[in-house]
Structure 1
């Protein structure tokens, strides 16, 4: 597997190239611990994530991701960079223009805001232990003072002068509505005993039920951490299901 690192808008990005390309790409938008540097990244240092990359590239996928300004919490800068990176990758590689997105945790916030810009160019979305309501996550962390203060500081950094007021006023139900109504196939995966976003369950259940009622493509799986090694296989099968129509 060949790997390439490069700077885009002053943020390090990685591309993992498959030996036998299938013509499709997966854009990973990571969680809080996600990082990308010139020589390394979370996805090459963490054994489970590295195995996930290998499984996906062995299935023929080109996989790419960016540092996205660190803990961005879905701010406008992360969305703009993600949008630009999509177009850059399309120029750099011979790929079908419709991509898959894999968003983990906090990354779901950026993925959701990216939808209006790339909806016609998305093949499917997989959410792994997603945070889709930042307000609910803030409420959750109030009982853990150290983490609560850290979270507030990160949000203030990500959103600048708007800070908490912006999050509270504009970030509550919109994400749920977008995910419930979009035509892009959705797969929700949750590792129930290793989930940092415990207050998201109600939102995700409503999204699942609404999509089922309206006959929109949706899947949801709950797994134990000990069964995590099966996740890449489940994702690859889901991605493949929506590659039959180019």
Structure 2
């Protein structure tokens, strides 16, 4: 029986490569949000029913999908960004893949993706964002309504950024305005209601600069049923090797 998962450790964090039966030579880096995890023998992409379906669509199409625990609730910290870059180079050494990859960022994982682009630059073939959180300050402002959640979130952010100054952390806003890599946003109705202003601002800015972006809005219960559409988007940007 072929090996379909390869687990390993980097910087005391677990990572996994999900291997397809028939590789197409292209890699997908999956950067999850605050509920994402990888441990010594499991991946959130396998344990979560709907995410497993998305993973299956990708691997059945031949994509090699790799992901890391990235320190858990990292809130887009520099440590998480650096480890994601290390993961990319490690996978490129381990697997026979085209060096130009696709990236999927989910939830607060989008905060890691936007900073990672400055490190990988021309190595990013396309970007898919699933229900993304695009602004850390806005994320924190939403939590102000519940004091308990707000204090916990502040504590998590300060720990992730290794600082005692919350304004230092949330002031380091990053955007997807400059990258030339095409972006596709998959937003559920609930997420779009929360982050409509941020998403539309990004769309308007990229359109103004003639940079490719598209948005697909789905019902909340169908937010992970974008596999076929996502694959179609990825394939559009594989003609140039």
Q: Once the 2 structures are TM-superposed, how far is the Cα of residue 199 of structure 1 from its aligned partner? A: 4.2
Q: Which residue of 2 aligns with 1:208?
A: 203
Asked if the contact 2:54–2:225 (Cα under 8 Å) also holds between the matched residues in 1, the reply is no
Q: Once the 2 structures are TM-superposed, how far is the Cα of residue 165 of structure 1 from its aligned partner? A: 2.4
Cα distance in 2 for partners of 1:98, 1:225 equals 32
Asked if the contact 1:137–1:200 (Cα under 8 Å) also holds between the matched residues in 2, the reply is no
Structure 2 counterparts to residues 107-186 of structure 1, below 5 A: 107-171=109-173, 175-176=174-175, 179-186=176-183
Residue 232 (structure 1) aligned to one of 227, 231, 235: 227
What are structure 2's unaligned runs of at least 5 residues? none
Give CA-to-partner distance per residue, 1:110-160, whole Å, 9 cap, x none.
111111110110000011111111001111110122221211110011112
Secondary structure, in 3 states, of the residue corresponding to 1:154? helix
Asked if the contact 1:155–1:163 (Cα under 8 Å) also holds between the matched residues in 2, the reply is no
Q: Once the 2 structures are TM-superposed, how far is the Cα of residue 39 of structure 1 from its aligned partner? A: 1.3
Q: Once the 2 structures are TM-superposed, how far is the Cα of residue 12 of structure 1 from its aligned partner? A: 0.4
| 2:76 is the alignment partner of 1:74 | yes
TM-score (norm 2): 0.94
Q: How many residues align?
A: 239
Secondary structure, in 3 states, of the residue corresponding to 2:16? strand
CA RMSD of aligned residues (A): 1.5
Cα distance in 1 for partners of 2:224, 2:114 equals 26
What are structure 1's unaligned runs of at least 5 residues? none
Secondary structure, in 3 states, of the residue corresponding to 1:15? strand
Secondary structure, in 3 states, of the residue corresponding to 1:234? helix
Give CA-to-partner distance per residue, 1:45-96, whole Å, 9 cap, x none.
1100111111100011000000000101111110110001100000000000
Cα distance in 1 for partners of 2:34, 2:155 equals 14
